[in-house]
Amino acid sequence: MNIQIFGRKKCFDTKKAERYFKERKISFQFIDIDIKGLSKGELNSIKKNIPISDLINEKSKEFKSLNLDKIRSTEMKEEILLKNPKLFKSPLVRNGSSATLGYKKEIWDKWE
């Protein structure tokens, strides 16, 4: 398994995800989404499993300031997401081509 956790250090669900993999002695790579963000390739891999609209945190300050509620184009939302990583919900957990959003123990159990 090649687990990547894209999250935030202060996010409760990110901490739960890290704990889940640590307890099972599964190695993972933690990426602080606010600092590193996601590459276009990583986003393309994730959006095969999770729609772009689900990845956007509508409660973030950036959502309103960037008027994302008025943008309909998926491609435009994708570009804005790549430039503003604070818009992502967390944690995003990847295992190769599979990906989950949030704490999804029932799906991660199947990855083992």
Mean pLDDT, residues 11-39: 94
**pLDDT beyond 90 at 108:** yes
User: Which 3 state secondary structure label does DSSP give 16?
Assistant: helix
Q: Is the pLDDT of residue 94 over 90?
A: yes
Tell me the CATH number at 24. Answer: 3.40.30.10
Cβ–Cβ under 8 Å, residues 8 and 14: yes
Closest by alpha carbon to 17, among 81, 107, 91, 85?
A: 91
**pLDDT grade for 81, boundaries at 50, 70 and 90:** confident
Range of the domain at 64: 3-111
CA separation for the pair 88, 43 (Å, rounded) = 11
Q: Residues 7, 17: contact at Cβ < 8 Å? A: yes
Our count of domains for the chain comes to: 1
| pTM higher than the cut 0.85 | yes
What pLDDT does 73 receive? 78
Residue 67 has pLDDT above 80, yes or no: no
- pLDDT tens digit sequence for 29-62: 999 999 998 999 899 899 899 998 898 888 888 8
Map tokens 């600092």 to a residue: 35
Q: How many Å apart are CA 46 and CA 60, to the nearest integer?
A: 20
| 83-to-18, 40, 59 alpha-carbon distances in Å | 26, 10, 18
Instruction: Pick 73 or 55 by higher pLDDT.
Output: 55
